[in-house]
Copies of this chain bind each other. A is one copy, B any other.
Amino acid sequence: MNDTKLIDTRTRILDVAERLFMDSGYEGTSMRQITGEAGVNLAAANYHFGSKEALLQEVFKRRLEWLNKERLRVLDEMETQAGGQPLKPSQIVDAFFGTLLRMGAHPTQGGETFLRLLGRTHTDPSGLIKTLFAAEYSDVLERYKTALFRALPEVPKAEIVWRLHFMLGATSYAIAGTDALDLVTDWQLTEDDKIHSSERLLPRLMSFLIGGLRAPLPPPPDKS
C-alpha cells in the first residue's frame, strides 16, 4: 500500500465526485464522468470504494465528520466559558450555522463545493441519503436541541424544534448556491452588493435566523 499514490487516487476520485454530484446530482453523474475527469481508470473507483453508492457515502462522510466534530467542539467551548449558565440563542445559532458557513472558506474541507452539495441534498428524500444524514447528525442535533431548550426556557419545545427546522431550510437554500439566487436577483442590486454578497452572507443569514427564532409565537391551535 503506497502512501502517496493510493491516497492521491482515492482523494482525486472523492474530490471530483463531490463536484460532479453537486453539479448534476447523484443519478445524473456517471462513474465514467467521475473517473474520466479524475484521470484514473474506471475500475479504480469500484476498487477503492466498492460501488457508486458507497462512493457517495464517503463523499459526505469525510466532510460531515469534520463539520460535526467542529460543531461539538465549538459548543463545548462556549459552554465551558459560560460556566453552567445557559448560552444566548445567538451563540447557539452561530455555533451551528456559522460553523457550517465558515466551512465554505476552509480550503482543506471542500470549500464552497461541499456546502452547495450539502444544501441541494438536504431536500433529497432518497433512502440512502436520509439514512446517512440521520446517522451523521443525530448526536449533534441532540446537543444543540438541548442547548436551545435551556436558552429559551419560556418557549414550548415543539416550537423550538420547528424553528430549528426552518433555520435548516433557510440555510440549506442559502448555501445551495448563489446561482439559485439569480432567480430572485436580476433586480436592482449595486455591483457592490454582488461583489461582497458571499462574504456578507453569514451576517445576513444570522440576523434572519435569529429574528425567526425569537419571533412571537403563532396563535395557539383552534380548539374546535
- Which residues of chain A have a CB within 8 Å of any CB of chain B? 22-28, 116, 119-120, 122-126, 130, 133-134, 137-138, 141-142, 145, 157-159, 161-174, 176-177, 179-190, 193, 196, 200, 203-219, 221
Contact = CB atoms under 8 A, between A and B. Distances in A.
A25 B126 contact: yes
Interface of chain A: mostly helix, strand, loop or mixed: helix
Contacts of A188: 157
A190 B158 contact: yes
Contact of A123 (B28, B119, B138): B119
A206 B124 CA distance: 24
Given A122-B180, A123-B173, A205 B25 contact: no
A169 B170 CA distance: 4
A157 to B, nearest CB: 6
B173 A133 contact: no
A185 B217 CA distance: 19
A158 B100 CA distance: 23
16 contacts: A25-B25, A25-B126, A27-B27, A122-B123, A123-B173, A125-B176, A158-B189, A161-B184, A162-B204, A164-B184, A166-B208, A172-B173, A200-B221, A204-B218, A207-B215, A211-B216
A88 to B, nearest CB: 15
B203 A208 contact: no
Nearest to A28: B27
Contacts of A219: 203
Contacts of A119: 123
A125 to B, nearest CB: 5
Contacts of A212: 170, 208-209, 211-212, 215
Nearest to A211: B215
A215 B214 CA distance: 9
A173 B179 contact: no
A81 B205 CA distance: 33
Nearest to A162: B204
